[in-house]
């Protein structure tokens, strides 16, 4: 389990694969100076509720991965996460879609 630390005060555990995809989306949004909500379902060990965080470019953010190798990135998942990050409800973790098949065009 990797860790996302926000403002040196909040640390949340995420699977390394999830965290790598979140890092790409969060980084892209904050690099453009865009603030947004990030929502997730809490682990049952801490109450099984929901949490929401206002992501802002001026707040320190730290990603700590447990594994020594970076996970492979699924561009389809990055796009799906970005769609949620651009919504009024905020970014939420959605299930990973299957990667696009090489040579197969996406439906238009």
Q: What is the pLDDT of residue 107?
A: 41
31, part of any domain: yes
40, part of any domain: yes
Q: Which tokens in the block code for residue 26?
A: 């969060």
Q: What is the pLDDT of residue 102?
A: 65
43, part of any domain: yes
pLDDT digits (tens, 9 = 90+) for 19-38: 999 999 999 999 999 999 99
Long-range contacts of 79-84 (CB under 8 A, 24+ apart): 81/21, 81/22, 81/25, 82/25, 82/28, 82/29
Q: Which residue has the higher pLDDT, 103 or 54?
A: 54
101, part of any domain: no
Three-class SS state of 98: coil
Neighbours of 7 (CB within 10 A): 12
97, part of any domain: no
103, part of any domain: no
Nearest alpha-carbon partner for 81 in 45, 16, 27, 31 = 27
Boundaries of domain holding 21: 2-92
How many domains are there within the chain? 1
């Amino acid at each position: 389990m990797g860790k996302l630390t926000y403002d040196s005060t909040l640390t949340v555990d995420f699977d390394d694969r999830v965290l790598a995809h979140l890092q790409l989306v969060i980084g892209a949004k904050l690099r453009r100076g865009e603030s947004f909500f990030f929502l997730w379902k809490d682990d049952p060990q801490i109450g099984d509720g929901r949490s929401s965080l206002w992501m802002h470019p001026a707040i320190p953010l730290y990603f700590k991965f447990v594994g020594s190798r970076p996970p492979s990135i699924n561009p389809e998942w990055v796009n799906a996460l970005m769609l949620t990050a651009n919504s009024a409800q905020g970014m939420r973790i959605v299930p990973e879609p299957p990667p696009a098949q090489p040579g197969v065009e996406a439906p238009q």
